[in-house]
Amino acid sequence: MALAVAVEPQATVADIKNLFSKSHPQWYPARQSLRLDPSVSMCVQVCPGVSRSFQVSPGVSMCAQVCPCVSMCVQTVPSPVQVFLTEYAGPLLIYLLFYFRVPFLYGPRYDFTASRHRVVHLACCCHSFHYVKRLLETLFVHRFSHGTMPLRNIFKNCTYYWGFAAWMAYYINHPLYTPPAYGDEQVKLALAVFLVGSWIGFTIMTQCLPGDTRTPRLSPQVGSWIGFTIMTQCLPVALFSLVGFVQMAIWAQGKHRSYLREFRDYPPLRSPIVPFLL
């Protein structure tokens, strides 16, 4: 399919995206990038008065009379909402499969049986609460500063979230799972840490500016996963928390450096993620 577009001399890239979106309304303008060759990473500027054809998506091409200083070509990329919904919905569903012990996970003897340990049921409630909260935050609370995210983020993030969810769920819901060593006292303390961290993170997020919703809530998020680790006393949960902490520390330090450059009154001694330490 070919699409011919007449572009005015004063037209901007946004104008070209809107023209294309009128013919293909399923592709939102903010989610398109324009370039002459889909294989290149940067937009290419086209010479005045030259008619060029370029790839839009598999099986779709577009031809336009290009005017001065207009860069062109279209490549569809996912929105942040799509990426986050995909990476958060997976762990929620995967964990529940292990919690209900669907067939082929633990053997026919344990199909659709329930654990006798209360901490297993509490862990399922906390895990489900966390990801339901993240899904709702993505839909109604998050304010994104960018309209798109790299497609590779879906595969990278889903590998991390989905893989660890399956690993920790397998052991926590296993018929031979051993409850925490210090019993109900350990579970109650861990539950309090988890809930406080979740509440503080949510409260901070609702007060953030667009684009800043990740960093301020990283410390409480780490705290909530530490609580979940103590509650379940499960090694995969501890590794998930550790890997997540390392990644969030990198994000927080990067955001901290950018704040120091952008805001003159930003406190230089403020810690990016761990107060007084990191």
Among residues 192, 196, 193, 214, the alpha carbon closest in space to that of 205 is found at 214
Residues 229, 233, 234, 239, CA torsion sign: positive
In the predicted structure, residue 206 carries a pLDDT above the cut 70: yes
Q: What is the pLDDT of residue 241?
A: 95
Most confident listed range (76-90, 142-156, 236-250):
236-250
Which residue carries 């309304």 as its tokens? 25
The set of residues, in sequence order, having a beta carbon less than 8 Å from that of 119 and lying 6+ positions away, is 179, 180, 187, 231, 232
Between CA 200 and CA 181 the distance in angstroms is 28
Q: What is the pLDDT of residue 144?
A: 67
Instruction: Specify the 3-state DSSP secondary structure of 51.
Output: strand
Mean pLDDT, range 129-150, rounded to an integer? 82
In the predicted structure, residue 217 carries a pLDDT above the cut 90: no
Residue with the larger pLDDT of the pair 31 and 211: 31
Among residues 154, 158, 157, 174, the alpha carbon closest in space to that of 235 is found at 174
Q: What is the pLDDT of residue 9?
A: 67
Q: What is the pLDDT of residue 7?
A: 66
Between CA 238 and CA 70 the distance in angstroms is 51
Distances (CA, A) of 178 to 40, 105, 155: 53, 18, 33
Could you tell me the pLDDT band of residue 153, with boundaries at 50, 70 and 90?
confident
Lowest mean pLDDT among 110-114, 176-180, 198-202: 198-202
In the predicted structure, residue 270 carries a pLDDT above the cut 90: no
Please, what is the angle between helix 235-262 and helix 218-232, to 10°? 170
For all residues of the chain together, what is the average pLDDT?
79
In the predicted structure, residue 209 carries a pLDDT above the cut 70: no
Q: In the numeric block, which tokens belong to residue 213?
A: 């919703």
Among residues 76, 82, 77, the alpha carbon closest in space to that of 60 is found at 76
Lowest mean pLDDT among 9-23, 119-133, 238-252: 9-23
- pTM over 0.75? The answer is no
The CB density around residue 35, as the number of other CB atoms within 10 Å, is 18
pLDDT digits (tens, 9 = 90+) for 10-67: 677 777 777 777 777 766 666 566 655 555 544 434 334 444 444 444 444 444 444 4
Residue with the larger pLDDT of the pair 184 and 63: 184
Burial class (CB in 10 A: 0-12, 13-18, 19+), 184: exposed
Residue with the larger pLDDT of the pair 70 and 159: 159
Mean pLDDT, range 99-108, rounded to an integer? 95
Helices marked H in the chain — which ranges? Answer: 13-23, 80-99, 118-140, 152-172, 183-205, 218-232, 235-262
The set of residues, in sequence order, having a beta carbon less than 8 Å from that of 183 and lying 6+ positions away, is none
